[in-house]
Amino acid sequence: MTATAYDAPATEDDGPDPGATDTRNRVRGRAFVLTAALAAALLVGCLLSAGLGAYSIPLGDVLSSVQHRIGLGGHALDRVGESVLWNVRLPRVVLALLVGASLGCAGALMQGVFGNPLAEPGVIGISSGAAVGAVASIALGLNFLGNWTITVCAFAAGLATVLLVYTLSRSGGRTEVVTLILTGIAVNAFAGALIGLFIFFADNAQITQITFWQLGSLAQATWPKVLAVLPCAVLGLLVAPFYARKLDLLALGERPARHLGVDVERLRIVLVLVVALLTAAAVAVAGIISFVGLLVPHLLRMANGPGHRFLVPGSALGGALVLVAGDLAARTVADPAELPLGVLTALFGSPFFFWLLRRTRRKQGGWA
Partner 1 sequence: MKALRRLFAAGTDRELPVPAAPGTPLAEAAALSVRLGGRQVLDAVDLTARAGEVVALVGPNGAGKSTLLAALAADLPAGSGEIRIGGRPAGSWSPPELALRRAVLPQSATLSFPFPVEDVVRMGRAPWAGTAAEDEDDAAVAAAMEATEVTRFAARPFSALSGGERARVALARVLAQRAPLLLLDEPTAALDLRHQELVLRICRERAAAGDAVVVVLHDLGLAAAYADRAVVLRDGRIAAAGPPAEVFTGALLGEVYRQPVEVFPHPRTGVPLVVPERKR
Phi-psi region for residue 119, left (φ > 0), alpha (ψ -120 to 50) or beta? beta
Site track 104-133 with partner 1 (rule: CB under 8 A), x = hit: -----------xxx----------------
**Tell me, what amino acid is at 60?**
G
Given 224, 231, 256, 351, the residue binding partner 1 (CB under 8 A): 256
Is residue 261 a contact residue for partner 1 (CB under 8 A)?
yes
Stretch that binds partner 1, among 13-21, 203-211, 220-228, 340-348 (CB under 8 A): 13-21
| Rounded distance between C-alpha atoms, residue 173 and residue 175, angstroms | 7
By beta-carbon proximity to partner 1, the closer residue of 4 and 204 is 4
| Rounded distance between C-alpha atoms, residue 269 and residue 195, angstroms | 27
By beta-carbon proximity to partner 1, the closer residue of 140 and 251 is 251
Is residue 173 a contact residue for partner 1 (CB under 8 A)?
no
| Rounded distance between C-alpha atoms, residue 174 and residue 170, angstroms | 6
By beta-carbon proximity to partner 1, the closer residue of 134 and 294 is 294
Is residue 224 a contact residue for partner 1 (CB under 8 A)?
no
| Rounded distance between C-alpha atoms, residue 176 and residue 188, angstroms | 18
For residue 54, the 8-state DSSP code is S
Quickly list H helices, the chain.
19-51, 59-69, 79-83, 90-114, 126-139, 149-169, 177-201, 204-215, 223-239, 244-250, 254-259, 264-286, 292-304, 308-332, 341-364
Is residue 24 a contact residue for partner 1 (CB under 8 A)?
yes
Given 305, 335, 359, 367, the residue binding partner 1 (CB under 8 A): 305
| Rounded distance between C-alpha atoms, residue 298 and residue 38, angstroms | 15
| Rounded distance between C-alpha atoms, residue 62 and residue 134, angstroms | 34
Is residue 248 a contact residue for partner 1 (CB under 8 A)?
yes
| Rounded distance between C-alpha atoms, residue 226 and residue 98, angstroms | 8
Given 216, 307, 318, 349, the residue binding partner 1 (CB under 8 A): 307
Quickly list H helices, 115-148.
126-139
- Residue 336: cis peptide before it, omega within 30 degrees of 0: yes
By beta-carbon proximity to partner 1, the closer residue of 252 and 299 is 252
Output the furthest CA–CA distance in the chain (Å, rounded). 80
Given 16, 73, 146, 365, the residue binding partner 1 (CB under 8 A): 16
Given 189, 208, 245, 351, the residue binding partner 1 (CB under 8 A): 245
Is residue 15 a contact residue for partner 1 (CB under 8 A)?
yes
Is residue 365 a contact residue for partner 1 (CB under 8 A)?
no
Is residue 368 a contact residue for partner 1 (CB under 8 A)?
no
Three-state secondary structure of 168-188? HHEECCEECHHHHHHHHHHHH
Q: What is the CA angle 75-79-83, rounded to 5? A: 95
Contact 134, 150 (CB under 8 A): yes
Given 81, 192, 241, 253, the residue binding partner 1 (CB under 8 A): 253
By beta-carbon proximity to partner 1, the closer residue of 263 and 335 is 263
Is residue 258 a contact residue for partner 1 (CB under 8 A)?
yes
| Rounded distance between C-alpha atoms, residue 311 and residue 204, angstroms | 44
Is residue 251 a contact residue for partner 1 (CB under 8 A)?
yes
Is residue 361 a contact residue for partner 1 (CB under 8 A)?
no
Stretch that binds partner 1, among 17-25, 62-70, 178-186, 337-345 (CB under 8 A): 17-25
Site track 34-63 with partner 1 (rule: CB under 8 A), x = hit: ------------------------------
Given 210, 262, 277, 346, the residue binding partner 1 (CB under 8 A): 262
Stretch that binds partner 1, among 19-27, 81-89, 90-98, 221-229 (CB under 8 A): 19-27
Which residues of this protein are in contact with partner 1, per CB under 8 A? 1-8, 11, 13-17, 19-21, 23-24, 115-117, 245, 248-253, 255-256, 258-263, 301, 305-307
